[in-house]
Amino acid sequence: MRVLLVGGGGREHALAWKLRQSPHCHALYAAPGNAGIAQIAECVPINPKAIPELVQFARQHAIDLVVVGPESPLIAGLADALQEAGIPCFGPTRAAAQLEGSKAFAKQVMAQVNAPTAPFAVFEDADAARAYLRERFATQPCVVKADGEALGKGVFVCDTLGDALDAVEFLMEHEGLGAAGKHIVIEDRLQGRELSLLCLTDGERALPMPPVRDYKRALDGNRGPNTGGMGCYTPLPDATPALIETALQTIVSPVIQAMAQRGTPYRGVLYAGLMVQDEQPYTLEFNCRFGDPETQALMPLLQDDLLTLAYRAATGALEDGSLVFEARAAVCVVLASGGYPGEYRAGLPIEGLDAAAQTPNTLIFHAGTRAENGRILTSGGRVLNIVGLGDTLETARQNAYRAVEQIHFEGMHYRRDIGESVL
Ligand code: AMP
Ligand code: GLY
């Protein structure tokens, strides 16, 4: 099969690495890829949002399967455009991607099937939202969310009524996130521990991957600003098989069935962000794609052929059964540019990659990197993902940090506590 992978971050490097191992992978292109992906695939300079260009490239290069990493092209209809061109796409259509593209839509689907999620209300009027908040905060705190696509910036977890009213003003009156905040969702604030549950689905069957925990805050001890993700680990000692089964039975399967019944079957990866409160899983959000950095921890443990699975999911032909993952642990540490998630410099040379690559039981996935004159330079906020593998979380963690210590670029920062709190 000839494969086009859309995206150019650490998630896509991990996907490319795994797709490449398939005996069915005869050609692998990445749009746009990065310096790490370029070592195993042919990178083509097409923006992931440039849908007509992607479709044209896929046609011209006789692509058999397009695998989409990021959400934006899916929410914008890349899968639909490929479908029209007769090219299978791993990733949902625009209508199905609304599970991520509209938080109000996701909540309505969950309500329809009684999937556990925080009680909520949807608003398009700021005064009505404020009135609801005043009443609700009398008994309990709320979370204010922009309905639309907001690149992780649309959620305001509020401690006080004042914070929540400010969020309404920012989203609805100042249009701080543009059209994304025209409608908002207000929901009760849940308490507990979070986990990411990624399921492969062909629109009918849902095959879960091991749960992963990611770290969204920039600094150790979950302090500092929110980021795209600073690391993650799997498996989770606190996520029992019974808990995951409950999440599948009460959330993932009913939602996938509801999407099929609507005539908009969901194919690809359905990523459920869950909160476990009183040992019950509740959905915080859905993503319509693989997680980043969750994928970097999961792909090294996946024993099945990703290309076959992705093709079957894309064409509605997954087999019953379960995915096979190695019973080992993986810890992923993200190396970020100085200043990230705020402003940062790019173009800085990265030292020590070869030495780090020699560290046993580790893998290095590139995120924001580019090659120039034989050197690897930084080119993004999240630069590299170092994955340590081991029989236990402790050894996986040691392996990851051993490789991290080999790598250096000016201003580099990373969290030192990934996988620590569970040990
Ligand atoms: P989201 O972008 O929807 O994943 O939200 C980002 C983060 O906000 C989540 O990972 C949670 O930490 C937090 N969050 C979202 N919804 C809630 C909620 N209802 N209760 C508590 N925390 C929440
Ligand atoms: N790790 C969070 C995400 O992929 O959205």
Tokens 């259509």 — which residue? 93
- Return the CATH architecture of domain 125-182: 2-Layer Sandwich (3.30)
- At residue 139 the predicted structure's pLDDT band, cuts being 50, 70 and 90, is very high
Instruction: Answer yes or no: is pLDDT of 422 > 70.
Output: no
List, for residues 366-395, the tens digit of each pLDDT value.
999 999 999 999 999 999 999 999 999 999
Ligand 2 neighbour 229 (Cβ under 6 A): yes
Distance from the CA of 139 to the center of ligand 2, in angstroms? 31
Would you say residue 421 has pLDDT above 80?
no
- Whether 291 lines ligand 2, by a CB cut-off of 6 Å, is yes
Whole-number mean pLDDT of the chain?
Answer: 96
First to last CA, the chain: 42
Percentage with pLDDT > 70 across the chain: 100
Q: Do domains 2-93 and 125-182 have the same CATH topology?
A: no
Nearest-angstrom CA–CA distance, 295 and 206: 17
342 burial (CB, 10 Å; 0-12 / 13-18 / 19+) is: exposed
CB-CB contact of 7 with 68 (8 Å): yes
Amino acid at 124: E
Residue nearest to atom 5 of ligand 2 (CA): 291
Contact 11, 229 (CB under 8 A): no
Q: With a 6 A CB cut-off, is 118 part of the ligand 1 pocket?
A: yes
Per the confidence metrics, is the pTM higher than 0.85?
yes
CATH class, domain 191-314, is alpha beta
pLDDT at position 404: 98
User: Could you say which ligand is closest to the alpha carbon of residue 288?
Assistant: 2
Please report the pLDDT score of residue 389 as a whole number: 98
pLDDT value for 355: 95
How many other C-beta atoms can be found within 10 angstroms of the C-beta atom of residue 122? 18
- Please state the length of the chain: 423
d(CA 234, CA 389): 10
Q: Where are the alpha helices (DSSP H) in 316-417?
A: 353-357, 393-404
What residue spans define the domains of the chain? 2-93, 125-182, 191-314, 329-422
**What distance in Å separates the CA atoms of residue 143 and residue 156, rounded to the nearest whole number?**
6
Provide CB contacts within 8 A for 42, sequence distance 6+: 27, 28, 29, 30
- pLDDT of 423 reads 52
For residue 366, give Cα distances in angstroms to 5, 132, 350, 390: 15, 45, 11, 21
- CATH number (3.90.600.10, 3.30.70.20, 1.10.3720.10, 3.40.50.300) of 329-422 reads 3.90.600.10
Residue 379, Cα to own-chain centre: how many angstroms?
20
Examine the pLDDT at 405 and tell me if it is beyond 70. yes
Q: Which CATH architecture has domain 2-93?
A: 3-Layer(aba) Sandwich (3.40)
The band of 151, judged by pLDDT with boundaries at 50, 70 and 90, is: confident
What's phi and psi for 177, nearest 5 deg?
Answer: -120, 25
